Amino acid sequence: MTSAPLNPSAGPARRTVVAAAGAAGLAAALTACGSSDDGSSSTTTTNNGAGSTTQDSNAAGGATDTSTAAAGSAGGTALAKTSDIPEGGGTIYKDKAVVVTQPTSGTYKAFSTKCPHAGCAVSSVANGEIVCPCHGSKFAIADGSVKQGPATTGLTAANISVSGDQISLA
């Protein structure tokens, strides 16, 4: 009577198969979390009815930041022209993680695009509010304060300067 060997080496060990499956799952999860944005895009989306604009600062020719603008200051990295920011609305510069608003004519403010609730990036400016798409938090364009939760703290102010018609990161 002939018997088969007790430990055939015909296939991979169970431990190897389980480890490979786990590694494949981890790779898929990390790939899904990654960004396909290489920073070179220049897409601009404008929603004139809602008063919001989204731009890469490369399309606007520079960088942006937030806070009360001081007229006459020429320092910093050029971000946009004042005419790029709609009155009563704002423009989001995704690649600089900043939103610049014009709550009233000639007054410019800037805030981080990172929502303090869950860290999502705000996605639009509409009806005098900066909107986070993740959980619906809304922030005032004048000071970044919470207008609607679940966020409990406002957006972080950023420093900008205005010189003539040029808005720059301070």
Lowest mean pLDDT segment, chosen from 35-44, 72-81, 140-149, 153-162: 35-44
What pLDDT, on a 0 to 100 scale, did the predictor assign at position 49?
40
**19-41: average pLDDT:** 47
114: closest CA among 84, 77, 157? 157
Helix/strand/coil for 33 = helix
**Residues 6 or more apart whose Cβ sits within 8 Å of residue 70:** 161, 162, 170
Report phi then psi at 8, rounded to 5: -70, 145
Q: How confident is the model at residue 109 (pLDDT cuts 50, 70, 90)?
A: very high
> What CA–CA distance (Å, rounded) separates 27 from 72?
51
> What CA–CA distance (Å, rounded) separates 41 from 22?
34
154: closest CA among 99, 108, 80? 99
Pair type for strands 90-93 and 52-55:
parallel
Q: Spell out the domains of the chain, with CATH numbers in brackets.
A: 44-169 (2.102.10.10)
